[in-house]
Amino acid sequence: MNYKKIVKGTFVDRPNRFIANVLVDGKEEKVHVKNTGRCKELLVNGATVFLEDFAENLGNRKFRYSLVAVKKDNLMINMDSYAPNVVIREALFDKSLKLPGMDDLCFIRPEATFGESRLDFYVEDINKNKGFVEVKGVTLEEDGIVSFPDAPTLRGVRHLNELINLKEQGYNTYVIFVVQMEKAKYFTPNYKCHQEFGETLKQAKECGVNIIAISCNVTEDSLTLKETIPIKI
């Protein structure tokens, strides 16, 4: 995926989950943060951030800029919570992403409802195999190890339980962790943050849900899938 226009800024602070103050060309601007997670290890005073500039297409927007990426030391991290779903959608439609246990896809429906949850994709292949895909974005990194979540997520637990239920009904099921950075040794659930999510992910794996983690190529104005990385649950 590509952003139309990106400008560089310096992070100042974050008054709430939705807004940050950023210096752009020496002027402090209020910007929309496209990630409601904590991101405390990323959004530190003085960090270099990258903003999508909507000056030419403001419409009903309250703020001109949206914060989409940040530099952590020398590591570029995309922190746009909408981006993982977009790159998986692109990869499914252009057939560059192959789902284990399924042949070429002939039908892809985003935002598929099942039970009390809305999962990211429902898919069918040319052999009439059916599946559900849930996508999670990963921005938390420490010493090359990436993990999810960075805040407790009951919604995430519910999604995993829905995938387990679907697997038991005969569907192919997948949870894809899109690691929004290039370098990562392996992915692991963040038990310290949310023990229940980690335990439910372990249960999902034991039940046959496909657990996939994929790193990304990240630039100031783009995000693309790179390669699968090891998973330790």
- Whole-model pTM: value is 0.95
Strand partners, 142: 145
Tell me the average pLDDT across 149-161: 94
Q: What is the DSSP string of 9-51?
A: EEEEE-SSSSEEEEEETTEEEEEEES--S--TTTS-TT-EEEE
Domain 83-228 has CATH 2.40.37.20: no
CA 184 to CA 85: how far, in whole Å?
Answer: 20
Beta strands (DSSP E) in the chain are 6-13, 19-24, 27-33, 48-53, 65-72, 75-78, 105-114, 117-125, 130-138, 140-142, 145-148, 172-179, 186-189, 210-219, 222-228
pLDDT tens by residue, 188-221 = 999 999 999 999 999 999 999 999 999 999 999 9
Sign of torsion over alpha carbons 216, 217, 222, 225: negative
Enclosing H/E stretch for 161? helix 154-168
CA distances from 194 to 105, 147, 154 (A): 34, 11, 9
- Domains 6-78 and 83-228 agree in fold: no
The neighbour count for residue 146, using CB atoms within 10 Å, is: 24
Displacement of CA 143 from its chain's centroid (Å): 20
pLDDT band, residue 116 (cuts 50/70/90): confident
Average pLDDT over residues 184-191: 97
DSSP state of 164: H
Mean pLDDT, the chain, as a whole number? 95
Residue 115, pLDDT score: 73
Stretch 114-120: mean pLDDT = 82
Q: Verify cis geometry, omega within 30 degrees of 0, for the bond prior to 149.
A: yes
**Going edge to edge, which strands form the sheet with 130-138?**
105-114, 117-125, 130-138, 172-179, 210-219, 222-228
What is the chain's Cα-based Rg?
18
Fold of 6-78: OB fold (Dihydrolipoamide Acetyltransferase, E2P) (2.40.50)
Residue-wise pLDDT tens digits, 73-94: 999 999 999 999 999 999 999 9
Would you kindly state where each structural domain of the chain is located, as residue ranges?
A: 6-78, 83-228
| CA 92 distance to own-chain centroid | 15
